[in-house]
């Protein structure tokens, strides 16, 4: 087979499925956001790649004004980060419904088609970076909070006292139950671990 033909063949065959390839080769949100106020990092022990998310969240409206990412990952990671950043821009924190990984995966796969099992870590690093970004924003919000009662959920301004009262009065056993009562945990989801901890402490006290 002539060398020129071989070269033509290889340069025209993508290593990735078409939708992944299209997002990977035209990643509009790749890069750093200089005015980010929420930054998160995700890394994989499987392949050693990492991703960093940069979000700018409007302090007044609590909507995501801009999102970008940087990654050392493969085309799958780049495509997933591109779709995720695209989907969250313009959303208000109160519209995020706790950001469960299974829902995020559904959204990404609706755009890019199913990720094979050996690429699950490409998604996982993006999810971790996104969750960490919102946790970072929550930490910054709490450090600037000047109110009297400690906040648990900054997305819905729900205090620790309110969550404690709800858990005690209703014997709630899950974060979802607490969310149903006061909306805490139903935004970016970064307070959910704290709500779960409060439920666990209450249950241990009742033992």
The residue ranges that bind ligand FES (CB under 6 A) are 93, 138, 153-155, 184-191
Tokens coding 9: 């063949």
- Cβ closest to ligand FES, residue 24 vs residue 53: 53
C-beta of 77 vs 191, nearer to ligand FES:
191
Task: Supply 115's token pair.
Answer: 């990720």
Q: Are 99 and 131 in contact (CB under 8 A)?
A: yes
- Identity of the residue, 143 or 206, whose beta carbon is nearer to ligand FES in the bound complex: 143
CB 69, min distance to ligand FES, A = 20
C-beta closer to ligand FES: residue 26 or 58: 58
Nearer to ligand FES by Cβ, of 49 and 190: the residue is 190
Minimum distance, C-beta of residue 203 to ligand FES, in the bound complex (Å):
21
Nearest-approach distance from CB 118 to ligand FES, in angstroms: 32
Q: What is the DSSP letter of 62?
A: -
Greatest Cα pair distance in the chain: 79
Cα–Cα distance list, 105 to 142, 157, 186 (Å): 29, 28, 18
Residue with tokens 């200089």: 34
Output the CA–CA distances (angstroms, integers) from residue 23 to 8, 20, 76, 80, 130, in the order listed. Answer: 23, 5, 9, 8, 19
C-alpha dihedral (48, 51, 52, 56), degrees to nearest 10: -170
Q: Shortest gap between Cβ of 30 and ligand FES (angstroms)?
A: 26
CB of 18 to ligand FES, least distance (A): 36
Start-to-end Cα distance in the chain: 77
CB–CB of 39/53 below 8 Å?
yes
């Amino acid at each position: 087979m002539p060398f020129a033909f071989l070269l033509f063949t290889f340069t025209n065959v993508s290593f990735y499925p078409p939708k992944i390839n299209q997002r990977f080769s035209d990643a509009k949100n790749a890069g750093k956001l200089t005015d980010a106020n929420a930054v998160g990092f995700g890394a994989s022990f499987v392949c050693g790649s990492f991703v960093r998310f940069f979000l700018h969240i409007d302090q007044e409206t609590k909507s995501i004004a801009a999102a970008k990412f940087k990654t050392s990952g493969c085309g799958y990671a780049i495509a997933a980060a591109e779709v995720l950043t695209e989907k969250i821009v313009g959303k208000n924190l109160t519209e995020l419904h706790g950001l469960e990984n299974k829902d995020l995966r559904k959204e990404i796969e609706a755009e890019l088609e199913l990720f094979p099992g050996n690429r699950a870590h490409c998604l996982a690093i993006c999810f971790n970076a996104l969750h960490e970004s919102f946790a970072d924003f929550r930490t910054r919000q709490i450090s600037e909070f000047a109110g009297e009662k400690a906040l648990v959920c900054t997305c819905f301004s729900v205090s620790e006292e309110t969550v404690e009262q709800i858990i005690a009065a209703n014997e709630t056993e899950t974060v979802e139950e607490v969310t149903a009562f006061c909306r805490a945990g139903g935004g970016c989801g970064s307070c959910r671990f704290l709500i779960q901890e409060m439920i666990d402490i209450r249950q241990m006290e009742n033992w």
